[in-house]
């Protein structure tokens, strides 16, 4: 079972939920926690894992053999990202614009283009306290997180429960992270910003046809509109975490709810049970 | 004309609440929301849309089923795994056009992609440029570049002194696009280990692109030890910590009312944000 934890708005408690869920389930079955927020990965702060493996993430970028190149301009013409410019006597390649699609090297009539890897990030794996851990880190100055996210997701272990911590927003990195999940938890807060971004996040998971449920964090802080929206849209609110200074203080020190307030473990196992029920129910419906 | 962009690395540290207050405090400015995939600034500034435009960007592949011979070459060559069972997965397609070039049956064409909308609006505080990236779309960086360019044009026309820009979280494409060429980045952080970790990465990005940065520690009293750690980190990096703002529920109450917090209350938080804006104004004059 793959459960992704997303939110739309940043700072609503995705990592808090993902880490505590993982730690609450680890005695029950094999649990893997994958940090797909590769721009700002934070799970490691809470799990303090021992890293045992590390692999660079490279995207293939073109390399021109100028001895073979006839400066025909075909590569520049087909590159949708304007990553190649061909002049009468030389060729310029802009690696930061390249998406690594491979069209130029395949289509070059002179086979003058080969590919070389350009490192844009790293994927690290390890263990923490009985939980399998994987994270991606985008290198500073690099613009494209999705290839790093894909590499993280290549390491999903389909046997147990895999929990994916997603970055905020609704654009390509979020889609890449959620895609293929059995369920998506949307963590929000009961404020106008929380609601606005929850609505966008719900649209995103609907487009991906992934079933979802809501976790309301910092309950009591704003107004009732998030709950009203969930009721209206028939979105199950699966867990409510109150606004609590002690929780905020624990979080600030990098301590999960499952460790700092072990009484919460039961709530997280219950959260998982409800997700399981919803996923089972859906697969029964789909079979019919 | 000077442009200040508010970033944070980590989401939810208070960027938009602070930008909303700057909107009320700054005299001559154009506002721009660069968080195009989860925009919130409009909830504080209540813009009335004056101009609505479509944002066409990139292309997506389309397979003509009548022509397709199901040879499978496109599926084999697509590096984004965007063709499955001879159908294009629009969410995965990055618009490279490789498939359209190599299809032996000529069954694949590329069509233009409507990726979102952008707006110029009136607010009580002046003009605002904002956008809405379509759900699950790419090219947020290009849309950010576009709204910034429109804001610059407006500011030049009006002779505005400042462009105040609400940035996205993270360090990737839309952040780089919000940052490049700005006069100053205000980095809003919070005294949590995650906040510190993410601040370090976003301040490295500022350094990488040569944009001077200043730091504001929001909700500093949640963990004063961490707040001190942030200040000492900044000191070592030669970055000035320009404000420490306490946690105050008035910020959320103002958000519920849909107004900037400096207009909602005259307590400590508002004074701190006023002093912060003054410091930014002074530093932009240098």
Complex ipTM, two decimals? 0.93
Tens-digit pLDDT profile for residues B162-193: 999 999 999 999 999 999 999 999 999 999 99
Question: What is the band of B227 on the pLDDT scale with cuts at 50, 70, 90?
Answer: very high
Would the CB atoms of A221 and B209 count as touching at under 8 Å?
A: no
**What average pLDDT does this structure show over B76-96?**
94
Tens-digit pLDDT profile for residues A111-151: 999 999 999 999 999 999 899 999 999 999 999 999 999 99
pLDDT score at B170: 96
Question: At residue A286, does pLDDT exceed 90?
Answer: no
Ranges assigned E (strand) in chain B = 2-7, 29-33, 48-63, 83-84, 87-88, 108-123, 126-133, 162-166, 184-189, 213-218, 240-245
For chain B, how many residues are written?
Answer: 286
Question: What is the band of A288 on the pLDDT scale with cuts at 50, 70, 90?
Answer: confident
Would the CB atoms of B135 and A200 count as touching at under 8 Å?
A: yes
Would the CB atoms of B101 and A107 count as touching at under 8 Å?
A: yes
Would the CB atoms of B11 and A168 count as touching at under 8 Å?
A: yes
Residue written as token pair 């709530």? A267
pLDDT score at B38: 93
Facing B193 at nearest CB: one of A179, A196, A252: A252
Instruction: Provide the 3-class DSSP secondary structure of residue A107.
Output: helix
- For β-strands B29-33 and B162-166, DSSP reports them as parallel
Cα radius of gyration rounded to whole Å, chain A = 22
Facing B173 at nearest CB: one of A15, A40, A143: A143
Question: At residue B138, does pLDDT exceed 90?
Answer: no
pTM equals 0.95
């Amino acid at each position: 079972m793959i459960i992704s934890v997303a939110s739309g708005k940043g700072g609503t408690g995705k990592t808090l939920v993902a880490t505590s869920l993982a730690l609450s389930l680890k005695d029950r079955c094999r649990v893997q926690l994958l940090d797909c927020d590769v721009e700002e990965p934070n799970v490691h702060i809470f799990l303090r894992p021992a890293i045992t493996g590390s692999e660079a993430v490279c995207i293939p970028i073109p390399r021109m053999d100028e001895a073979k190149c006839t400066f025909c301009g075909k590569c520049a013409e087909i590159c949708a990202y304007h990553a190649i410019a061909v002049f009468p006597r030389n060729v310029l390649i802009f690696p930061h614009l390249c998406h690594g699609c491979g069209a130029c090297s395949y289509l070059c009539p002179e086979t003058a283009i080969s590919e070389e890897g350009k490192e844009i990030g790293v994927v690290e794996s390890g263990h923490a306290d009985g939980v399998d851990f994987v994270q991606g880190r985008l290198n500073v100055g690099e613009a494209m997180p999705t290839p790093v996210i894909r590499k993280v997701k290549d390491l999903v272990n389909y046997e147990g429960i895999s929990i994916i911590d997603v970055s905020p927003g609704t654009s390509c990195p979020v889609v890449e992270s959620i895609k293929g999940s059995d369920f998506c938890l949307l963590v929000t807060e009961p404020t106008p910003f929380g609601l606005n971004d929850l609505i966008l996040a719900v649209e995103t998971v609907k487009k991906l046809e992934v079933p979802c449920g809501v976790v309301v964090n910092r309950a009591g802080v704003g107004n009732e509109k998030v709950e009203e929206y969930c009721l209206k849209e028939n979105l199950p609110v699966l867990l409510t975490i109150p606004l609590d200074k002690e929780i905020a203080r624990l979080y600030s020190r990098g301590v999960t709810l499952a460790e700092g307030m072990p009484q919460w473990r039961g709530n997280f196992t219950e959260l998982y049970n409800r997700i399981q029920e919803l996923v089972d129910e859906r697969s029964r419906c789909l079979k019919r | 004309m000077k442009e200040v962009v508010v970033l944070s690395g980590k989401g939810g540290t208070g960027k938009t609440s602070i930008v909303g207050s700057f909107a009320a405090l700054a005299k001559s400015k154009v506002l721009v929301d660069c968080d195009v995939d989860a925009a919130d600034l409009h909830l504080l500034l209540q813009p009335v849309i004056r101009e609505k435009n479509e944002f066409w960007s990139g292309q997506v592949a389309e397979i003509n089923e009548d022509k397709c011979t199901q040879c499978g070459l496109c599926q084999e060559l697509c590096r984004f795994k965007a063709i499955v069972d001879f159908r294009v997965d629009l969410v995965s397609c990055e618009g490279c056009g490789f498939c359209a070039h190599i299809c032996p049956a000529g069954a694949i064409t590329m069509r233009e992609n409507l990726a979102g909308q952008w707006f110029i609006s009136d607010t009580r505080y002046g003009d605002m440029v904002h956008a809405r990236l379509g759900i699950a779309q790419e090219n947020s960086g290009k849309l950010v570049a576009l709204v910034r360019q429109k804001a610059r044009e407006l500011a030049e026309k009006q002779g505005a002194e400042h462009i105040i820009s609400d940035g996205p979280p993270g360090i990737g494409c839309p952040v780089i696009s919000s940052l490049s060429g700005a006069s100053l980045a205000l980095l809003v952080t919070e005294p949590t280990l995650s906040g510190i970790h993410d601040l370090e990465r976003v301040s490295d990005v500022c350094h990488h692109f040569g944009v001077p940065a200043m730091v504001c520690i929001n909700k500093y009293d949640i963990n004063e030890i961490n707040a001190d750690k942030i200040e000492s980190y900044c000191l070592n990096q030669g970055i000035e910590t320009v404000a420490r703002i306490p946690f105050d529920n008035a910020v959320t109450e103002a958000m519920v009312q849909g107004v900037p917090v400096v207009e909602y209350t005259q307590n400590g938080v508002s004074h701190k944000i006023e002093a912060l804006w003054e410091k930014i104004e002074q530093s932009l004059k240098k």
